[in-house]
Structure 1
């Protein structure tokens, strides 16, 4: 029996919800341990920003007797005091660097558990220690929107829950959660979370780094890129650990090349809470969200915990007729089998619909029709009729995790998983020169006019597992494990008539392929001294691909064998790639609050499936995996009111294999694929970030980068695919910049966090960068741009029934800037003034883009620029209710 995506989701949800019914029945002796007529007092302790405090001490004193008990908060800021007799009590909470919080007249009723919530305020200077002992009491670190850990062995930034919940728009996707990280650039021309965002850092584009969720890698099968709008909205994410390096040997994923973005699901709170919210904002954006935290439940032992979130989002988008709709739901369940074993289940489902086209607007169209024009209108006779462009993308993601502490200091973490991506897309393909669709030729084999539309499908289902085993001793920590994944993919693109919705007989391409990924690894972290740890490891990355490509209209492989001339129905190929990836790093604690580190690490990227998109699928020698070697050194310092971290890096890329499409409608090669081998390149630079607690709830956050990414080899390009006799056969000299690598970035932020308020304003500046179009390197350069955002939040805290009720105002692109963020270069250049549609226009782009030699005299109206979306304002009201308060 085959498993459809819907059946798979149903089985996964059933398995997760069934977990508690297989738990062992509790012995009556557990209940006998509770003192008759007493109760248990539990609660949480947070700082002014809502972060849980693991350094708090709780003192409970009776108002009428000498009875008193003391407890310490755990790593999640939770505390528990059992066997408390009925009566009135005073409960006080203290933590280094914070003022003491007191609740008086707390009534304890026999056999009725009591839950309390504390939010501590910053203490006076006289109350605070001056040195961060172990980095855990730094006020600056606790109030920082993002920060580096003291034990890091590479350049890392941790984005915390407070930032996600208060300093991003409620519609944000995971790409926008990391937009402020040093060296990072995230853009989305349709508005925050309203389409597919792209994230680059240090010159690494999407597809050159890993993203995982709770340690499980996710990515496309044809190329290791990611879909930010179809997986893991911000409502599902509790934090982000951004590692800007290939990591250690135990860093798993298909592309441990440039770095890893580790997405973390939300923590499971111990108290029950129900939340329902509504958001409305610019571009007719509407968001409904509801969530349920069960808190700990399941008898006296309270071994179960459940979190459920569902939401609906719809928006017209900033760009014309770029409508977006998303319905999503997630469920996370935890069951403590014992003090040493925890079982976790997660399921997330998204149903996405959009009217995004497959092409972007040209400079000429934007100049004539406005910054938000996107090839779409309401004229059904035109190629840009918006209903010809639509996506329907259902996805699901499920895992079951077992984490267990075994005998002799061994530990086990095992996660089997499955996920699915199912993209049904239909889009108009604008004919050469932007001419209207002609129904009499639409769907016929007229070159450059047909197809008028494309019926596109891309679907894959994956099954895999991650296994990590470690053993801790007095000498160090040994880690070993394996990541394995199997995936089946079905893809096609068929020319279609948008007026009749009739597809052609032969597709542009059609293929099915199956992939296997294996990554066994081993590493040892040697605790050389109390201050020095050294980690060495080795990972073996092995990847197989079995492809079956079917006859097409010549868009990829054709319908006959180009050598024998014999017609074929399909062609099959098998290929495997492998890389040995060593790593070595060290961390030294100069002081408990000051560390330095050094790292040497390697990463790889496997070639895309498009390697075989050549005539007859005949590939003599497939390219090798692209590899990188990174060297980094850095430091992290955490004082009571200041945190600081900085790093310097050097990375060499090798053996890049790429392709692009000639999108110039005036080119003889319009629509053809350009295949090319990228030269090696070197990127080097420095990064820093700092956070300063100014006092009275005010904090300052700054980061900055300065880098250089240049080619050190030559490039040879050929077009169309597989040919050597064409005008694009060129060689690019070394010394040119790697495209999309900014020369510098800066971020500034000021926040206020106290008494339920979270207010912040942030600005990100991205420096100039060069743009390439396939073989044409450094064709033009983008100017620097800034984007500023502001946020005002007020949350009810303090243990009432309406705990976590919140009012939230988000303003993105505060200055309403319309700067260009990137450009896909086109063909011919234009003068400072030009005529279009009988009207004369002044070209505002002249003087704002610096051209390389051979690309002078202005800019190209056929360029496709991406611009910042206009200012957006979203107001949210979230009602929180805690029944147990």
Structure 2
């Protein structure tokens, strides 16, 4: 059988007497069975293999006149192998050449992105967000250029923080909000494939936010052959990448060891002015097989990131100058503030508030795990993976105003930029700490994932646990950048907190018939937080009466969710399947949910909101023909939107509540058409509508009333209005050529119209459709010589140099409508007092980065094959 309980035909068996003599062989039939007879008594070694599967070996004792039944479970080599095995078993050339594809065993909308796609059809400096951006219903933006900053990925309208990302099954995310840092963890050099599931998944899908979906990052497969590779890449924005990789191949006693090492250095000026990036990184993987039943794996990665990213974005006026619909005069005149067009080069000039010394990040990270997988007999397998990782972000940035250390210059005009000097930051006491911010965010996590499985003819039983403990230290201090970043006495906020996450689960994948699989399951998500918050300047909790920086209060809370799931997969034919899924998901609340403005007594008031949850229905089909693959799905998601708050009159403390629930529904389709001689056409498209429902939200005027069942005030929600940042449609067209030594591809991604919210005013503006086109050309030496796998890569990102706007932060915030009920006045958080001009020249906007070209040469040095 395979490791999922499926019967494996045409597997090869070799049986050899340990005392010597010729080996006997057999091939499994359609039911995965084999028989060998006439063996003499003794000890035998049974070895089974099949294309794309890892070889398995077992020792069997044969007695005279006895019969032994041997069950063997072969595991897929890696994601690429799984796709290859399925393509080969169906005789589908289109599936074998598909850049991305769904699997016939899918129970949800799932796209498999192989290492071949990452290595051939993404930039050498891409991050994991850019590796998934061509998948159905998905888009990724990065304003500084591909791989050169923090990218943002959306799918089905869900932003980062509404879905899980894990690496080899280990969730990773920020502790203050469940979001991710694409530039500080897992660059493409670390990746061997991606399993992209656009659903909450089954009960065994673990993580803090099994809500919108999961991006499962996978490490590289171990090579059985020794190989050394070294490469250099150079491209636009003075981007340089040096990379070296070593595969040990199988070595040691009985060839039971394997090691892979990769180290690289990345440096770039970036597309945006003064947004330099430097990254030094390395990872090491090892594998040890002490027996045919036990495998030990390990992974360790370290990244050292430095960047000069400013803490503000350019405005429309600074980007484009005057345009129809807005003017660029006065405060909105071009170059009248921060902007990407500043070109400051004199490092001795104290006015260089945009220079490296006034805006920088220093972010070291590390990530480690050790995994043990052991077969226990009778179909049972146990695996456990303890892990730890750390994120340590030290950031200092100036506010976007010119500064000087000479009080006489305040109010004068700085000629090179035609801007006024606002303050001295170091000599005027009132503004001493207004020019900079000293920011710190650090956490260390320890956790484990474990799973017990039992494979039988009836199906697969799975039970397991994810547990994680994290310790976080965060602060933001107003600081003086001209006095060696001297901090103010009181911070904007300073806090430490400890979180615990528990997720036990159980599910059973029942093989009801050879063609029908049913998988019910349930997961329990329990989360706790304990905070220690120090006195501040009013940014979060206030001075606690004494304004003593050492004073603090403690707070905390917990959440518990039961998350059932169920799915079915029916194999209509060997090459055609259908599936259906009902699944629930939840989101770990942000730590800010536990912030309360404190009175002089420092007594916290904790009225916690309900946890965000969702309910997803999906159905779809996957078909693999020789020249065409096709998968299609329909989804309907009812989910709770994010948190908001208001303040009851009796306490002055904010009460958090869930915003109006929402519904997203739509369709997605994906296909690869094999044309001829390695040439294929890849297509995907999604169409959806994400909108608020018309349910009412209940408010209250006292903290006690908030917890009672008696409504105090009922406000209609913006039913029917579209959810912000959820495109109406997304399409991808790709043309690939994969033949012998050549891998070439062109991919075009179009993102449809998106609505934008502004404060309480929904659908205040829109982002027009934008298009991104990338082209890749690769040539690999496959001669079997010492230089086997030497590769030349040429990458074009945004080849047509489009500069469309991809995001907008409104300069003018909408004012919520005031309403009165029960003698009290409230802000209606869903309706604006009056319409505003949604798009202005002062809006801070994000755009597609300009065209980038990257040439890469990787030299391979391996034993002659």
Aligning the two structures, in what range does the TM-score lie when normalised by the shorter sequence? 0.7 to 0.9
Could you give the per-residue CA deviations for residues 511-549 of structure 1, whole angstroms, max 9, x where no partner exists? Answer: 000000000010111111110011100100000000000
d(CA) in 2 for partners of 1:508, 1:320: 28
CA gap of 1:783–1:854, structure 2 versus 1, over 3 A, is farther
d(CA) in 2 for partners of 1:132, 1:73: 12
CA gap of 1:133–1:292, structure 2 versus 1, over 3 A, is closer
Could you give the per-residue CA deviations for residues 124-171 of structure 1, whole angstroms, max 9, x where no partner exists? Answer: xxxxxxx98885431111111100011010100000111100000000
Residue from 399, 405, 416 that aligns with 1:429: 399
8 A Cα contact 1:443 1:495, kept in partner? no
| In the alignment, structure 1 residue 698 sits paired with structure 2 residue 679 | yes
3-state secondary structure, aligned to 2:206:
coil
Residue from 593, 606, 617 that aligns with 1:620: 606
CA gap of 1:375–1:632, structure 2 versus 1, over 3 A, is farther
Residue from 523, 526, 530 that aligns with 2:514: 530
Task: Summarize the alignment of residues 578-727 of structure 1 with structure 2, pairs less than 5 Å apart.
Answer: 578-616=560-598, 618-654=604-640, 656-657=642-643, 677-713=658-694
Residue from 721, 725, 741 that aligns with 2:726: 741
| In the alignment, structure 1 residue 439 sits paired with structure 2 residue 424 | yes
Task: Summarize the alignment of residues 485-504 of structure 1 with structure 2, pairs less than 5 Å apart.
Answer: 485-500=468-483, 501-504=485-488
Q: Per-residue deviation at 1:614?
A: 3.1
CA gap of 1:79–1:698, structure 2 versus 1, over 3 A, is farther
Q: Per-residue deviation at 1:619?
A: 3.6
8 A Cα contact 1:282 1:872, kept in partner? yes
- Find the counterpart in structure 2 of residue 353 from structure 1: 306
d(CA) in 1 for partners of 2:799, 2:173: 33
d(CA) in 2 for partners of 1:608, 1:441: 36
- Find the counterpart in structure 1 of residue 124 from structure 2: 170
d(CA) in 2 for partners of 1:372, 1:165: 35
- Find the counterpart in structure 2 of residue 558 from structure 1: 542
d(CA) in 1 for partners of 2:732, 2:267: 30
Task: Summarize the alignment of residues 160-559 of structure 1 with structure 2, pairs less than 5 Å apart.
Answer: 160-299=114-253, 301-368=254-321, 373=340, 377-378=344-345, 380-381=350-351, 383-430=353-400, 436-440=421-425, 444=429, 451-500=434-483, 501-559=485-543
Q: Per-residue deviation at 1:34?
A: 11
Q: Per-residue deviation at 1:797?
A: 1.1
8 A Cα contact 1:383 1:437, kept in partner? no
Q: Per-residue deviation at 1:714?
A: 6.9
- Find the counterpart in structure 1 of residue 325 from structure 2: none
| In the alignment, structure 1 residue 865 sits paired with structure 2 residue 845 | yes
d(CA) in 2 for partners of 1:620, 1:692: 57
CA gap of 1:698–1:360, structure 2 versus 1, over 3 A, is same
Could you give the per-residue CA deviations for residues 558-607 of structure 1, whole angstroms, max 9, x where no partner exists? Answer: 11259xx9998001012111100000110000001100000000000122
8 A Cα contact 1:414 1:468, kept in partner? yes
3-state secondary structure, aligned to 1:406:
strand
Q: Can you give the 5+ residue segments of structure 1 that lack an aligned partner in the other structure? A: 1-28, 36-69, 81-130, 661-672, 723-728, 830-851
d(CA) in 1 for partners of 2:99, 2:507: 32
CA gap of 1:257–1:445, structure 2 versus 1, over 3 A, is farther
8 A Cα contact 2:142 2:152, kept in partner? yes
* Higher mean displacement: 794-803 or 314-323: 794-803
8 A Cα contact 2:594 2:606, kept in partner? no
8 A Cα contact 1:376 1:386, kept in partner? no
d(CA) in 1 for partners of 2:656, 2:629: 47
- Find the counterpart in structure 2 of residue 112 from structure 1: none
d(CA) in 2 for partners of 1:757, 1:680: 50
Could you give the per-residue CA deviations for residues 157-186 of structure 1, whole angstroms, max 9, x where no partner exists? Answer: 000111100000000000000000100010
Q: Per-residue deviation at 1:417?
A: 0.3
- Find the counterpart in structure 1 of residue 25 from structure 2: none
d(CA) in 2 for partners of 1:374, 1:292: 42
8 A Cα contact 1:398 1:417, kept in partner? yes
3-state secondary structure, aligned to 1:241:
strand
- Find the counterpart in structure 1 of residue 780 from structure 2: 795
3-state secondary structure, aligned to 2:159:
coil
d(CA) in 1 for partners of 2:512, 2:441: 50
d(CA) in 2 for partners of 1:576, 1:508: 26
Task: Summarize the alignment of residues 125-164 of structure 1 with structure 2, pairs less than 5 Å apart.
Answer: 135-164=89-118
8 A Cα contact 2:781 2:790, kept in partner? yes
8 A Cα contact 2:765 2:838, kept in partner? no
8 A Cα contact 1:297 1:304, kept in partner? yes
d(CA) in 2 for partners of 1:295, 1:540: 41
d(CA) in 1 for partners of 2:463, 2:54: 31
CA gap of 1:353–1:699, structure 2 versus 1, over 3 A, is same
d(CA) in 1 for partners of 2:167, 2:645: 29
RMSD (Å), alpha carbons? 3.3
Task: Summarize the alignment of residues 19-98 of structure 1 with structure 2, pairs less than 5 Å apart.
Answer: 74-75=51-52
CA gap of 1:675–1:409, structure 2 versus 1, over 3 A, is closer
Q: Per-residue deviation at 1:386?
A: 4.3
Residue from 850, 855, 859 that aligns with 1:879: 859
* Higher mean displacement: 354-363 or 753-762: 354-363
8 A Cα contact 2:810 2:838, kept in partner? no
- Find the counterpart in structure 2 of residue 772 from structure 1: 757
Q: Per-residue deviation at 1:791?
A: 0.4
d(CA) in 1 for partners of 2:427, 2:692: 43
Q: Per-residue deviation at 1:443?
A: 8.3
8 A Cα contact 2:607 2:655, kept in partner? no
d(CA) in 2 for partners of 1:443, 1:611: 36
The two structures have a TM-score, normalised by structure 2, of: 0.79
Q: Per-residue deviation at 1:413?
A: 1.6
Q: Per-residue deviation at 1:442?
A: 7.6
Could you give the per-residue CA deviations for residues 783-827 of structure 1, whole angstroms, max 9, x where no partner exists? Answer: 000000000000011421111100000000010000011112221
8 A Cα contact 2:141 2:153, kept in partner? yes
- Find the counterpart in structure 1 of residue 766 from structure 2: 781
8 A Cα contact 2:674 2:681, kept in partner? yes
8 A Cα contact 1:137 1:640, kept in partner? yes
8 A Cα contact 2:471 2:497, kept in partner? yes
d(CA) in 1 for partners of 2:198, 2:306: 33
8 A Cα contact 1:467 1:482, kept in partner? yes
* Higher mean displacement: 435-444 or 730-739: 435-444
Could you give the per-residue CA deviations for residues 719-738 of structure 1, whole angstroms, max 9, x where no partner exists? Answer: xxx9xxxxxx9975221111
d(CA) in 2 for partners of 1:481, 1:504: 48
* Higher mean displacement: 583-592 or 356-365: 356-365
8 A Cα contact 2:314 2:339, kept in partner? no
CA gap of 1:610–1:72, structure 2 versus 1, over 3 A, is closer
8 A Cα contact 2:534 2:549, kept in partner? no
